[in-house]
Amino acid sequence: MDPISVIVAALAAGAAAGVKPTAEQAIKDAYAGLKGFIQRKWQQVSLGQLEANPTSEARRSVVKEDLLQAEAGTDRELLALADKVLDAVAQHAPDIAKSIGVRLEDIKSGGSLRIRDVAAGDVAVDVKNADIHGDVEISGVRADRSGDSRNPRVRQ
């Protein structure tokens, strides 16, 4: 997954998990760290709309576009904070990841693509227009539309 998509996924997952009254403090702290870092470094990136509806593709796209314009995908500290949010959500609120899933579009990479441990309510991994030269590894994918997690669906 490209760095900006990782960051946006972390923001959406953190926002979705953080609004639940039962959210673990680890998620709240990790999300607050990620959000605060972005607000300090890139004030033009507006997270309010995404926080209001973190499952909205349109709102995630706007944040993604803002982060791309800010060239935020090269910031190692930002990526580490995004990973921390995703780890906290995976550990303490795995149901949130089910509603988010992974969507990748127009991927062009000279390297490899690795997607691991994804669970979603319908389509867990949706890859469109991928041009990847090298290894592709997709593992631990679970899509559970009907309640049967033994039937993973990966769409390409």
80-104 pLDDT, tens digit per residue, is 999 999 888 888 877 775 555 555 6
Is the pLDDT at 36 greater than 80? The verdict is: yes
**pTM of the prediction?**
0.65
**Are 7 and 75 found together in one domain?**
yes
CA pair distance 35, 117, nearest whole angstrom: 24
**Are 105 and 91 found together in one domain?**
no
| Mean pLDDT (the chain, rounded) | 78
Compare 144 and 56 and report the one with higher pLDDT: 56
Average pLDDT value for residue range 45-70: 92
Is the pLDDT at 129 greater than 70? The verdict is: no
**Are 72 and 109 found together in one domain?**
no
Closest by CA to 6, choosing from 69, 85, 65, 98, is 85
Please state whether 101 falls in left (phi above 0), alpha (psi between -120 and 50) or beta. left
Range of the domain at 111: 101-156
**Are 36 and 1 found together in one domain?**
yes
Concatenated DSSP letters for 46-93? Answer: --HHHHH-TT-HHHHHHHHHHHHHTTGGG-HHHHHHHHHHHHHHHHH-
β-pairing verdict for 125-128 and 154-155: parallel
Q: 109 in helix, strand or coil?
A: strand
Is the pLDDT at 8 greater than 70? The verdict is: yes
How many other C-beta atoms can be found within 10 angstroms of the C-beta atom of residue 73?
Answer: 16
CA pair distance 76, 95, nearest whole angstrom: 27
**Are 90 and 124 found together in one domain?**
no
What's the total number of domains in the chain?
Answer: 2
Tokens at residue 74, please?
A: 């090269």
Average pLDDT value for residue range 35-48: 96
Is the pLDDT at 78 greater than 90? The verdict is: yes
Tokens at residue 24, please?
A: 């673990």
